[in-house]
């Protein structure tokens, strides 16, 4: 009987702790936290996806560095490469480089980031973020050139996606 009462109290406490009260946009303890993420699609001069392993000369995770400089020292930023995907009837054929840490570093005051692919010259990345709209990325500059934002159907479920021509 003691075990039953103890199990009942644990379930009751967990249920009570995960109730979302009507206090606006605040998440409850069991709500997943999602943070804004910069998503880059990298294409070569002929428009081929250079993150896709079937592309000749593609860049694997080991060949990619995303970093900023602090006192002349490279500080790595976390990222991952997501393969192409389908969402309902929509098919998105490009692999994408995702990084949330680049936005966190930008908000903390860093302005210049670098993307280095293999032994190529690093590409300088700058972000323009509207902090009044949940850290919405307004513009991405790669070596001073504006990256093309995704404006199609995929932008409704993958936000802050930009195309970078190498």
Range 58-69 average pLDDT: 96
The predicted-structure confidence for 83-105, as pLDDT tens digits, reads as follows 999 877 888 999 999 999 999 99
Greatest extent of the chain over all pairs of C-alpha atoms, in Å: 71
Alpha carbon distances (Å) from 25 to 31, 88, 107, 110, 156: 11, 28, 21, 28, 20
Bridge-based pairing state of the strands 38-43 and 145-146: unpaired
Q: What pLDDT score does 73 carry?
A: 95
Per domain, the residue ranges of the chain are: 33-165
Alpha carbon distances (Å) from 70 to 75, 101, 127: 7, 15, 18
Instruction: Kindly write down the DSSP assignment for every residue of 76-127, as one continuous string.
Output: E---EEEPPEEETTEEE---EEEESHHHHHHHTT---EEEEETTSPPEEEEE
Bridge-based pairing state of the strands 38-43 and 161-165: parallel
Q: What pLDDT score does 95 carry?
A: 97
CB atoms within 10 A of CB 100: 17
H/E run at residue 5: helix 2-17
The predicted-structure confidence for 4-54, as pLDDT tens digits, reads as follows 676 666 676 666 665 555 555 555 556 566 678 999 999 999 999 999 999
If phi > 0 it is left, if psi is from -120 to 50 it is alpha, else beta; for residue 108 that is alpha
Q: Tell me how far apart the alpha carbons of residues 39 and 81 are, in angstroms, rounded to a whole number.
A: 9
pTM for the predicted model, two decimal places: 0.79
Q: Which of 75-79, 89-93, 130-134, 154-158 has the highest mean pLDDT?
A: 75-79
Single out the residue of 122, 131, 81 nearest to residue 113, CA to CA: 122
Q: Tell me how far apart the alpha carbons of residues 39 and 160 are, in angstroms, rounded to a whole number.
A: 6
């Amino acid at each position: 009987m003691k075990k039953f009462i103890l199990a009942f109290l644990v379930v009751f406490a967990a249920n009570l702790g995960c109730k979302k009260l009507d206090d606006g946009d605040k998440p409850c303890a069991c709500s997943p936290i999602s943070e804004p993420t910069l998503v880059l699609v990298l294409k070569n001069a002929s428009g081929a996806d250079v993150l896709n392993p079937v592309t000749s000369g593609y860049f694997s995770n080991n060949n990619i560095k995303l970093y900023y400089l602090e006192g002349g020292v490279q500080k790595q930023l976390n990222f991952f490469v997501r393969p192409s995907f389908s969402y309902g009837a929509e098919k998105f054929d490009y692999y994408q480089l995702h990084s949330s840490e680049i936005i966190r570093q930008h908000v903390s005051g860093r302005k210049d980031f670098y993307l280095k692919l293999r032994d190529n010259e690093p590409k300088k990345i700058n972000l323009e973020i509207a902090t009044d709209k949940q850290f919405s990325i307004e513009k991405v500059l790669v070596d001073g050139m504006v990256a093309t934002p995704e404006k199609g159907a995929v932008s409704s479920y993958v936000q802050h996606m930009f195309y970078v021509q190498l």
